Structure 1
């Protein structure tokens, strides 16, 4: 019998089963997941609306996806997204100890980590985003440095060779980086190539790296690679991740630790 821990997980597994076999009957799915045919039909109605499959005479047939359309989670409303991002940020902050040197890469979730560090002492922060510097001054008593670099119009994020060099010449205990995409090879992507180059430099310079993401585009190469999941110490992500990507993590040396509120934490294996 297949796992049936949640409707989301079941629907992800249904898509994968139909994709592999091309066509599966309602009866087969009902037996495989040990749920009623009514439940399966509800799942198939949802999946058909999301354009993952088509239904015909009691069966489900796979519908080929366009690149970037394979995230099996409805677009979250603003409040839901903010709550999930804040939860991811809170879990990420747990990795920080007193007296550590941190690099904070650009990104909304990384920004939200800062208030959760207010009880840490003697931190040294290197930040890429001027907005984060203002937040750090509000919540933390710490050494605070900016990477420097170029500021493009209508942005507070610093990039360019100077920013990259600033990261590489400093001692960094832990860097927090944010991904916008994740492909089938486990590559972590950033939508802005200039930001990605600074993130890659930070990842190479840091003793430890934690990557955060909320509903990253899966199987998507519309972005610049800044790391592979095999290169990081932890990946904190919401549970909108498909089975093939989930199965990839242990092959890359990351073990799953489920957290509350639908957050998944993949940590580097210690064995």
Structure 2
């Protein structure tokens, strides 16, 4: 009998078993994992949605991945993505208390955090993305600061040595960063090197760091590192990440806390 400590571990084992054998029946899986056929069908439905396998006539067949496919997630339309990003932002905002100083990085999800902070009092908010200023002025009644720095043509985020130095000179209780990528070593990535340097400086200068992401591209190193998951306090992400990535988080000291609407929070373990 195969080990069955959790649904996640079982699903990982199902994928590996189907991959090795090519095709496995529901009854065989039920016996192998000592769970009901209903439980196995639920697992297979999830894994089919994640494009790991195909279900057919009571069996599961392995779905070979095309070269370069690292994120095995169901396709989401624009409306679904926006709704998911908003939910991630709402949960992220719950970490903010009154009287705190914040650093807001750049990115759609970080931008969406701002309205959820409207009921907080006595915040001090440092931004390096001028695209968020109007939203912040509309929803926040607090001290708003810009990092300063250079603004490249077509960009909205302030970068350069002045922006990096501005972050390190201030007391920051909590910074919110948005990752566009994640590699197999747990490095959180940003596509823009100049922005990445500001975000890395903010992370180093902050007491706490929360990273948000929507289906980040999983690859060896396509982007600049802003943090390793072992260096942050929490990662809020949708559930469209692959099982190996799920397994990586506990090894890096982050424990899974499932939220509603398919949102996952990987939070630093209590010491």
Normalised by the length of structure 1, the TM-score is 0.85
C-alpha separation between the residues in 2 aligned to 1:121 and 1:133? 18
CA RMSD in angstroms, aligned pairs only:
3.1
The 5 Å alignment of 1:9-158 reads 14-19=14-19, 21=20, 23-26=22-25, 28-29=28-29, 31=31, 32=33, 34-35=36-37, 39=41, 46=48, 50=51, 52=52, 60-61=61-62, 63=64, 65-67=66-68, 69-158=69-158
Structure 1 gap segments, 5+ residues each: none
Return closer, same or farther for 1:251/1:12 CA change in 2, 3 Å cut-off.
closer
Shift of 1:4: 8.6
Distance 2:213 2:46 in 1: 28
Decide whether the 8 Å contact of 2:73 with 2:242 is kept in 1: no
Q: How many residues align?
A: 265
SS of 1:158's equivalent? coil
Q: Secondary structure at the match of 2:260?
A: coil
8 A Cα contact 2:122 2:142, kept in partner: yes
Shift of 1:34: 3.9
Taking the TM superposition and a 5 Å limit, the aligned residue runs for 1:196-207 are 196-207=196-207
Aligned residue for 1:150, secondary structure, equals coil
SS of structure 1 residue aligned to 2:196: helix
Q: Which runs of 5+ in 2 are unaligned?
A: none
What is the TM-score when the length of structure 2 is the normalising length? 0.85
Query: What secondary structure does 1:227 align onto?
Result: strand
- Partners of 1:240 and 1:95 lie apart in 2 by 23
Question: Do 2:255 and 2:266's aligned partners in 1 also have CA atoms closer than 8 Å?
Answer: yes
Structure 2 counterpart of 1:211 = 211
CA contact (8 A) 2:188 2:226 kept: yes
Distance 1:70 1:167, change over 3 A: same
Q: CA deviation at 1:18?
A: 3.7
Asked if 2 retains the 8 angstrom alpha-carbon contact of 1:15 and 1:62, the reply is no
Q: 1:134 to 1:17 in 2, by over 3 A?
A: farther
Q: Is the CA contact 1:181–1:220 (under 8 Å) kept in the aligned structure 2?
A: no
Counterpart in the other structure of 2:187 = 187
Whether the 8 Å contact between 1:44 and 1:60 is mirrored in structure 2 is no
